[in-house]
Amino acid sequence: MISMTRQHAHAARLRRARSAASLLEAFAYLSPSIVLFAVFVFVPLVTTVRLSAFTTDPLGRVSAFVGLAQYARILADPRFVHSIGRTLLFAVFTVPGTLIAGLLLATLGTLRLSKIPLFRMLLSSPLAVSAATASLMFLDMYHPGLGILNYLLGLLHQKPVPWLVNETTALPAVAATTVWLQTGLNTIVLLAGLQDVPQVLHESARIDGAGPVRAYFGITLPLLTPTLFFLLIVDVLAAFQAFTQFHVMTRGGPNGATNVMVYAIYREFYFDGRFGIAAAQSVVLFLIMLAFTLAEFRFFERKVQYA
């Protein structure tokens, strides 16, 4: 009996030793990624949080500890509150449109046609275009006198629209640029998700008498919800972090209509030299993005159907 107890204890020690060895091996493989995350994510995050609790001189050197005073200051600033509203509205303009356009194009990309590989290549072409290049392209298209959009409106006997210099149309115009820019990624990811849907399910649905529309909404879309959920998170985070389009096309104007949070932080840091305020705004942006991500997991993940 004592011998069996010793054997069990020895076996338990061996299992713990193997588990520790596996953990060390896994840590060795993950260590390069951990180092990169620490250097480029965690350290800047901690530095930003620390800087937000201090005032700084014009050179960015810490001068005095103020705690949460700068957070109270920015949340009471109507300009920053306005930038939060602009950012939320920009996300509303871009995220649904990007998901719907990507889903539509990906569905078209699954059709069995002779030239469908060429069509798929054209769908993925926005991935090769940088945000700056796309912004310059749309900047020419939105030109009030020479842009193709106002030219087409002229052919329809409509008045030209001051796309980027009007407070009402500026944000939707930049949002349309972002939708075009982001749709390529969404299309490719959704196309991969559609190709993973088992064809046997569609064959069974056809045998049962279901038409293509019913099979699409009853089989394809439910099995595509994991991909859609992933893209929802990615697109929301991309909308909150959009910067290049605004910097190239509007510079936050007109009259603050496109002054989203990231551009407001950029101006506070580089133009106004208020580094502590910019850091506090960055922390608020991080918390908002975190809150939206958690809310998406809370309310949408339960609707995801995994195969």
Give counts: helices (H), strands (E), the chain: 14, 2
Q: Are 239 and 94 in contact (CB under 8 A)?
A: yes
Is residue 181 a contact partner of residue 123, using CB atoms and an 8 Å limit? no
Task: Kindly state the tokens that stand for 299.
Answer: 């309310």
SS3 56: strand
Rounded Cα gap, residues 240 and 232, in angstroms: 12
User: Per-residue pLDDT for the chain (307 aa), expressed as one digit of tens each?
Assistant: 555 566 666 666 777 777 777 888 878 888 888 888 888 888 888 888 998 998 888 777 788 888 899 999 999 999 999 999 999 999 999 999 999 999 998 888 887 777 777 777 777 777 778 889 999 999 999 998 889 999 999 999 999 999 999 999 999 999 999 999 999 889 989 988 888 877 777 677 777 777 777 878 887 888 888 899 999 999 999 999 999 999 999 999 899 999 999 999 999 988 888 899 999 999 999 999 999 999 998 888 777 776 6
**What is the spatial distance between Cα 230 and Cα 306, in angstroms, rounded to a whole number?**
13
Structure confidence at residue 4 (pLDDT): 56
H/E stretch holding 291 reads helix 275-299
Residues 6+ apart with CB under 8 A from 8: none
pLDDT for the residue 3: 57
Q: What is the pTM of this model?
A: 0.86
Q: Residue 165, Cα to own-chain centre: how many angstroms?
A: 26
- What does the DSSP 8-state code read for residue 115? T
d(CA 101, CA 179): 8
> For residue 96, is the peptide bond before it cis, meaning its omega torsion is within 30 degrees of 0?
no
Phi, psi of 162 (to 5 degrees): -80, 80
Contacts of 143 (CB under 8 A, 6+ apart): 150
Q: What is the pLDDT of residue 75?
A: 92
Rounded to an integer, what distance in angstroms lies between the CA atom of residue 55 and that of residue 274? 8
CATH for the 70-303 domain, from 3.30.365.10, 3.30.70.20, 1.10.1270.20, 1.10.3720.10: 1.10.3720.10
Helix (H) or strand (E) holding 50: helix 43-51
| Chain center to CA of 33 | 21
